[in-house]
Structures are given as structure tokens and as C-alpha cells.
Structure 1
């Protein structure tokens, strides 16, 4: 009897990714890109202090609770202009606790690339399109992001996704 050499796994639904897989893939992408979603620090050195995002958690939701019921996922990548990365990090340090308290934000994480501290990654989950719009029209967004951070950026990319 001849054994089959075809060891491919067949997905449950071709072309579809479930929520658990999406979260796992996101974690893997963050790890591969060498981003640290759990911390943001004004500089690469430990001596100047690393602030953990847990300090700013508005609540104690699990990832599963946060993604429950779907939502609008926004992923953004920033790159600071030459010599501006620490200023951007300081602005984000003030912005992050406000963003995490936003009632329409189900999950809000910011990471800084460990190998290139001028690069930042945002992983934001909003209740819906209206919640994202309210976030962008908030006073803290206009002050920290539009008013202070955006002029310091060389690059800003954003994409929106609907959770499956």
C-alpha cells in the first residue's frame, strides 16, 4: 500500500480567517517586524524608563472580550522625521491614556520598533465607524496627534479592517 505524500492542511473555510487566527497573526506580524506592542518608551535605553501600557489600561478586559462583537480595526504605521522620534514618543505617552479611556475604543495599543525607534505601530479597535470619527474629533486627538505629532512625521500610513 502506498502512503500519500500530500500533507497539506485544508482550511475550514477557504480564504477566511477567524477572529482567533487574526489575533494570532497580528501578534506574529508584530514579533516579526520587531515591534513591541506592550511598551512605549521615550528612548531605547532602559535607564530613561519604559512605561508599560498596562499602567494606562482603562479596564481589565481580555483580548477576547475586547474583540467580542466585532468592530472597526485601524492599523497605522508612523515614522518620525530625523531626530524627532523621542518627541513623538513623549507626545504619544500623553495621548495613549486618553485614547484608552475613549468609550468607543475597545482596544488601543501603540508600539515602538525596538531596532528603529523612529517607527511606531498603532493597533486600534473601535466599536464602529462613528466611534472612530468621535475619536478623531476629540480634543485630545486634535491636541496631541493633529497639533503636535503629525508635523514631526516623515511617513504616516493607515488602513481600516472589519473584524470577521
Structure 2
């Protein structure tokens, strides 16, 4: 059965030297489009204090289907996959469901 619980995305990106400003500029559009999505709960971008070329994206979605819709969106395909990923040295993504006690 498909997960109907909230899904949080933790994405860590190591940006290639000299490309951080380009990536941050592109992420502005990705952020603005993501928060408009019906299934988006939040979308925050963090820059590492110890390595300015490392970004951590923390995103929240209502369920698995909302994550899939996000990843299939035109802007995600064109900007994230088409323009940002080539500017990264490394990209790690973890999908997690919050644990409630």
C-alpha cells in the first residue's frame, strides 16, 4: 500500500567549484515553484557553515504521490535534472517519514 504519511526529503548537494552562485540562482525558481505545489508542506535550502559549496535541501510533502508529482514536474525535470545536476560533484537523497511518539 502506498504511504499516505508525510514524506520528508533530505538532499545533500556538493556543488562543483565556482558554481555555487549559479546553483543558488536556479534553486530560487525551484523553491518558488515547489511551494506552490498542492502536496508541498515546505521547501528549505541550507548552505553548510563549514563548506559553502555544500547545500542541504529539506523538503516536506503530504505523501509519496506528492513527491512523485514534484519529481515529474516540468520545472524539476528542466531545472534540477537538466541544469543543476550537471553542476554538482555529488548528490545524495534520503526520503524519510517522521516518527511520532
- Report the TM range for the smaller structure's normalisation: 0.7 to 0.9
Secondary structure of the 1:149 match is helix
Q: Provide structure 1 residue ranges, at least 5 long, that are not aligned to the other structure.
A: 1-68
Long gaps (5+) in structure 2: none
Structure having the larger proportion of residues in strand? 2
Q: What per-residue deviation string (whole Å, max 9, x for no partner) do you get for residues 121-164 of structure 1?
A: 01111111110000000011112101110000001001111112
**Hey, what's the Cα distance between the residues in 2 that align with 1:108 and 1:93?**
11
**TM-score (normalizing by structure 2):** 0.88
**Larger Rg computed on CA atoms:** 1
1:81 equivalent in alignment to 2:16: yes
Task: Tell me the equivalent position of 1:159.
Answer: 94
2:51 to 96, 105, 116: 116
> Who is 1:99 aligned against?
34
- Residue 114 of structure 1 deviates from its aligned partner by 3.4
How many corresponding residue pairs? 96
Q: CA RMSD in A?
A: 1.4
SS in structure 1 of the partner of residue 18 of structure 2: coil
List 4+ stretches of structure 1 deviating above 6 A.
Answer: none
